[in-house]
C-alpha cells in the first residue's frame, strides 16, 4: 500500500482529529485544574488535623442571551449562546473539582438580567444560569449584584423590577455571613454608587442623608450599633472582615495591576449603565467603615491587584489588598478566563504574625484561541492534505468484462480519454499499439490489461508530465463551463467530498459525545 494512499490519509486524519478534540475539549481543562490548588500551606502546619475553609470566588459569568449580540443575526446569536454555555459548563466543572466549602458569585450573573423582558423570559434566563452552574445542595452559594443584574443609573432599557427580580432569585443584595471566624461582607456596590450619586445631586452631606430603605447605606447603618461618626465598632466585630464588591474601589489613573493582567490597566471611568470604580470618597468611606483585611471585586473581567492604604489614628497606615477576579466567561475580552481560590484559617489555626487568609488565581484554557489557532488551521491543513491525496492518485474509473474462459479484462480509460464516451460507457478494446507509437498517443487511446489469477501488474510511478496533467485536471474541475470535464469534475469532487466526510464524522461525533457528557453531568 502506498504511504500516501487516500484511505491511509483519511484514517490518519481521523485519529489525529479525535485525539486533538479529546485533549482540547477535556484534557486541557483537567490539566488546568490539576495545576491550581488551595493556598493552605502558608496558613497552618501540615501536621494539624484542622484545615482552612475553602471559598470559591466566581466573577462575571454574564451568560448571554438573544439581546447580547443583536447584529449577529438569529443563527449566529444562537450558535454563540450554545458555544459560550458549553464553555461555561466546562469551566464550572473545573472549578467544582476543587471541592469548595462555600461559593461566592461576584455579580453580573446574566448579561441582560437588568433589561425589560416578560417574566416568563426572565424565568427561562434564570433556569439557564442555574442549569449551567449546578452545585451540590450541601455547598452554600452566595451572590452579590452587578450592574448587569440590577442596573446602574437610569435607562429606559432597564427594568424597574430588576432589583425585585434579583432579590427573589439570588437573595438579599447586602449580607454578612460568617465562615471560619471571618466576617464576609456581601455588598451591593451598584446601589451604593447610585445612592451616593443621588446624595451628591441633592447636595446633602453623608451624615444628613437619610438612607434608602434596604439599600446599601441602610445596610451600613444597621450593620453597626454606633453612629456613622464611629463606624464599625471593633468591640462588636472581632473577626477579620473580607469585603466583596462587584465594582472595584477607587485607585488613581495609571496604576498597575500586576503581572497576571492580560492587557492595560483598571482606570476610573463611568458610562451608560457601568462604572469602572467607585468614587474616591465612597471608596474611602467603605475602608473606614468596614476596615477589611482584604477586598475581592469583579466587573473589570481581567485580573488586577492593588493595595489600598487606610490611615489609622495611631501608627502606620493599614494596607488592604484588593483582588479583581477574572471573569469565568470566554467572551469578556480576556483570552484566559479564571476563578479565585480563597482559604480562610479558623481561630484554632491562627498564629501570631501570620495572615488569616490566603488566595490564588486559577487560569482556564483559552477556548477562543483553541477555535482560532488550533481547529481552524488544522481544518485548512486537513483539506489540503485530502486534496493532495486525491491529486496524487486521481480518479481512474475501471470497467471489467469476463471472457468465456474466465479471464477478466480490465478496460481503464486513459488520463485524456473522451469524457462523453466515459459517461456513456462506450469502452472498446483499442487496436494494438505499434512499436513506433509514442507514449503520448497510447495514453490518449487508453490501454488494455489482461488480468488472470496468477498475473498482476503494479502501477508505475507517474512521470513528471503525468503529474502536471493530474494537477491541471484537478484544478480545472473547479472551473465552471468546461463541458469536456463535466464528468471528471463530478467524479473528482464527489470522491473529495466523501473523503472529507469520512475524516469529519469521527471528530464531530467525539465533540457531540463530549458535549452531551458535559451537559448531562
Domain boundaries, the chain: 38-367
pLDDT at 439: 42
pLDDT at 449: 38
**Of 417, 400, 387, nearest in space to 495 by CA:** 387
Query: What are the φ/ψ torsions at residue 348 (nearest 5 degrees)?
Result: -70, -20
pLDDT at 237: 63
Give yes or no for a contact between 78 and 65, defined as CB atoms under 8 angstroms apart.
no
329: alpha, beta or left, given left = phi > 0 and alpha = psi -120 to 50? beta
Strands lying side by side in the sheet with 53-58:
141-143, 102-105, 53-58, 338-344, 357-363
* Grid cell listed for 363: 487560569
Cα–Cα distances in angstroms (integers) from residue 166 to residues 112, 114, 144, 324, in the given order: 12, 9, 10, 23
- CB-CB neighbours of 508 under 10 Å: 13
Cα–Cα distances in angstroms (integers) from residue 343 to residues 38, 182, 190, in the given order: 7, 11, 27
* Grid cell listed for 489: 469534475
Label residue 208 exposed, middle or buried (CB < 10 Å: 0-12, 13-18, 19+).
Answer: exposed
Classify domain 38-367 by CATH number. Answer: 3.60.21.10
Walking along the chain (521 residues) 10 residues at a time, the average pLDDT comes out as 73 94 92 88 73 95 92 89 94 95 96 94 96 94 96 90 94 93 95 89 82 86 54 60 96 90 90 92 91 95 95 86 96 94 89 86 94 94 89 53 44 38 39 43 38 42 60 54 52 83 90 89 75
- CB-CB neighbours of 183 under 10 Å: 19
pLDDT at 391: 77
Alpha-helix runs per DSSP H in 35-103? 73-96
Can you give the C-alpha Rg of the chain in angstroms? 34
**Of 258, 281, 279, 255, nearest in space to 269 by CA:** 279
- pTM listed for this prediction: 0.79
- Whose cell is 446601589? That residue is 191
Amino acid at each position: 500500500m502506498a504511504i500516501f494512499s487516500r484511505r491511509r490519509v483519511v484514517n490518519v486524519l481521523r485519529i489525529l482529529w479525535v485525539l486533538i478534540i479529546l485533549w482540547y475539549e477535556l484534557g486541557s481543562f483537567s490539566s488546568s485544574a490539576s495545576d491550581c490548588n488551595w493556598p493552605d500551606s502558608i496558613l497552618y502546619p501540615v501536621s494539624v488535623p484542622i484545615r482552612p475553609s475553602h471559598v470559591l470566588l466566581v466573577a462575571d459569568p454574564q451568560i448571554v442571551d438573544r439581546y447580547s449580540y443583536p447584529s449577529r443575526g438569529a443563527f449566529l446569536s444562537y450558535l454563540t449562546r450554545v458555544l459560550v454555555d458549553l464553555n461555561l459548563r466546562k469551566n464550572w466543572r473545573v472549578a467544582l473539582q476543587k471541592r469548595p466549602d462555600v461559593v461566592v458569585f461576584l455579580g453580573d450573573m446574566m448579561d441582560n438580567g437588568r433589561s425589560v423582558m416578560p417574566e416568563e423570559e426572565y424565568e427561562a434566563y434564570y433556569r439557564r444560569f442555574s442549569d449551567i452552574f449546578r452545585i451540590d445542595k450541601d455547598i452554600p452559594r452566595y451572590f452579590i449584584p452587578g450592574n448587569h443584574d440590577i442596573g446602574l443609573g437610569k435607562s429606559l432599557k432597564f427594568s424597574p423590577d430588576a432589583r425585585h427580580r434579583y432579590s427573589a432569585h439570588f437573595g438579599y443584595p447586602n449580607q454578612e455571613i460568617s465562615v471560619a471566624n471571618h466576617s464576609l461582607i456581601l455588598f451591593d456596590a451598584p446601589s451604593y454608587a447610585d445612592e451616593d450619586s443621588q446624595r451628591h445631586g441633592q447636595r446633602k452631606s453623608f451624615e444628613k442623608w437619610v438612607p434608602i430603605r434596604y439599600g446599601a447605606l441602610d445596610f451600613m447603618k444597621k450593620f453597626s450599633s454606633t453612629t456613622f461618626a464611629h463606624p464599625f465598632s471593633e468591640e462588636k466585630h472581632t473577626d477579620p472582615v473580607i469585603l466583596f464588591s462587584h465594582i472595584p474601589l477607587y485607585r488613581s489613573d495609571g496604576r498597575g495591576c500586576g503581572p497576571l493582567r492580560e492587557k492595560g490597566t483598571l482606570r476610573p471611568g463611568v458610562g451608560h449603565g457601568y462604572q469602572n470604580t467607585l468614587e474616591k470618597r465612597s471608596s474611602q468611606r467603605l475602608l473606614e467603615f468596614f476596615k477589611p483585611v482584604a477586598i475581592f471585586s469583579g466587573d473589570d473581567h481581567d485580573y488586577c491587584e492593588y493595595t489600598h492604604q487606610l490611615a489609622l489614628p495611631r501608627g502606620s497606615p493599614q494596607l488592604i489588598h484588593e483582588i479583581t477576579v477574572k471573569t469565568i466567561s470566554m467572551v469578556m475580552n480576556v483570552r484566559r478566563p479564571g476563578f479565585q481560590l480563597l482559604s480562610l484559617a479558623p481561630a484554632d489555626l491562627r498564629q501570631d504574625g501570620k495572615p488569616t487568609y490566603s488566595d490564588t488565581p486559577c487560569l482556564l484554557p483559552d477556548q477562543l484561541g483553541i477555535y482560532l489557532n488550533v481547529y481552524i488551521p488544522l481544518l485548512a491543513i486537513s483539506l489540503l492534505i485530502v486534496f493532495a491525496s486525491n491529486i496524487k492518485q486521481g480518479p481512474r474509473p475501471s470497467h471489467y468484462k469476463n471472457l468465456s474462459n474466465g479471464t477478466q479484462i480490465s478496460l481503464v480509460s486513459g488520463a485524456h480519454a473522451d469524457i462523453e464516451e466515459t459517461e456513456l460507457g462506450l469502452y472498446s478494446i483499442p487496436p494494438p499499439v505499434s512499436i513506433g507509437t509514442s507514449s503520448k498517443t497510447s495514453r490518449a487511446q487508453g490501454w488494455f490489461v489482461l488480468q488472470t489469477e496468477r498475473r498482476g501488474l503494479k502501477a508505475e510511478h507517474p512521470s513528471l508530465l503525468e503529474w502536471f496533467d493530474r494537477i491541471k485536471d484537478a484544478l480545472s474541475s473547479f472551473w465552471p463551463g468546461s463541458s469536456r470535464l463535466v464528468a471528471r469534475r463530478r467524479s473528482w469532487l464527489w470522491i473529495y467530498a466523501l473523503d472529507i466526510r469520512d475524516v469529519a464524522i469521527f471528530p464531530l461525533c467525539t465533540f457531540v459525545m463530549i458535549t452531551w457528557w458535559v451537559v448531562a453531568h
